[in-house]
Amino acid sequence: MSETMSQRPTRIVVDLDALGHNLQAIRSHVGVPVMAIVKANAYGHGLVPVAHYLQAQGVKQFGVAVVEEALTLRRAGITVPVLVLGGILGRQVTQLIQHDLEITVSSLDKLRKVEAAAERLGRKAVIHLKIDTGMERIGVHSYSCGPFIEAAAASTWCVVKGVYSHLACADDPASAMTLAQLERFQTACAHFDRIGAPMPIRHLANSGGVLHFPQTWLDMVRPGIMLYGVLPDPDAHRSVELRPALSLVSQVVYFKVVKAGNPVSYGATWAPAEDTHVITVPIGYGDGYPRALSNRGEVLIRGERRPIVGRLCMDQFMVDLGPHGSAYVEDDVVLIGQQGELSLTVEDVAAWADTIGYEVLTRFNERIPREYIGGQVAR
């Protein structure tokens, strides 16, 4: 954290002990290895510090979305295998192989590009085959993947380490589609037995799969948001005890009396019915805090829930303390986390903003400094 940013009163606090608790809880629940998903800046928690901590906790596989995330991990000294889950372009393949990064191969054409790059470099590429079982995003359709699997298994320059698909509806514990996807995936994987090729590591379960569908755990699971202590859906079953790892805290920078009828913030969308006390908090949508919280969200201050009033600005927003409420400049304001007996969760913020927890977490940008607490290596 730079000296300049460390002076900012708004900060994200990441509890590494909570992260470690969640990792161990998932491991105990599934009984198979965990690929820790750290894409999107580790869901807003900070890619490099989180990856270093998880590597120290014995995580043997990371998953990221894009090449740049994988290269950042390598440059930061992360040595365990890293799989790039997203689609790749031919021009990216050489760099992936040179940095010992694992590649998602999602078509026969991409397989040929990886083979050609590996041959030019004189070193084998480690690949995971992506099978599309119903997401219709990337991957070879499960019903036509036979030739693709045969070509990959016969490749001279590619080592097929894994085969995987992605569950579209596993956040819903009653999803019929999830079991249909599992069946399609198992049928696809049977091609390895049919041609006498070794079965790669099969991985299918995301956070929803981990929570709701033990049939999908197979050889490895890929928890993302639940690793950070947030449920993938408000209706998800709490079959694993999770602890939120992220808190978002700011401070009061201004206190004023607003007269009855005087509107607050852009657009004059809110005005008090009587004289009231209003504070200003120095964080806004320019930091990734949702503008949709205007006149809807709440914060904790002095152990009480107080409403956001007026439109949330790029860098600041206002909170109504009521005619008798009080606060001082530099008092802590909790936007996500606990204060006294009360707490506000990522799920709360997502509900107020009419979005999902994933978006809330991943929108927090680098303008907010991160602070890390806890983090003792494996107890």
* Structural domain boundaries in the chain: 32-228, 246-373
Residue 1: pLDDT over 80: no
**What average pLDDT does this structure show over 106-126?**
97
**Residue 249 forms beta bridges with which residues?**
11, 334
DSSP element (H, E) containing 95: helix 93-98
* Confidence at 3, pLDDT banded by 50, 70, 90: low
* Confidence at 365, pLDDT banded by 50, 70, 90: very high
Strands 125-132 and 140-141, how do they pair?
parallel
Residue 193 to residues 127, 186, 307, 369: CA-CA distances in angstroms? Answer: 19, 11, 60, 50
**Residues taking part in catalysis:** 39, 266
pLDDT for the residue 329: 97
pLDDT for the residue 376: 67
For the chain, the average pLDDT equals: 96
CATH class, range 246-373:
mainly beta
Query: Are the beta carbons of 178 and 169 closer than 8 angstroms?
Result: yes
Structure tokens at 105: 């191969």
pLDDT for the residue 287: 98
**Residue 104 forms beta bridges with which residues?**
128
Structure tokens at 179: 């079991």
**What average pLDDT does this structure show over 108-120?**
97
Count CB atoms within 10 A of the CB of residue 346: 25
Residue 26: pLDDT over 90: yes
Residue 379: pLDDT over 50: no
* 140-146 contacts, C-beta under 8 A, 24 or more apart: 140/106, 140/107, 140/108, 142/184, 142/185, 142/187, 142/188, 143/184, 145/188, 145/191, 146/191
Rg (CA), the chain: 24
32-228: which CATH number, 3.40.50.300, 3.40.50.150, 3.20.20.10, 3.20.20.80? Answer: 3.20.20.10
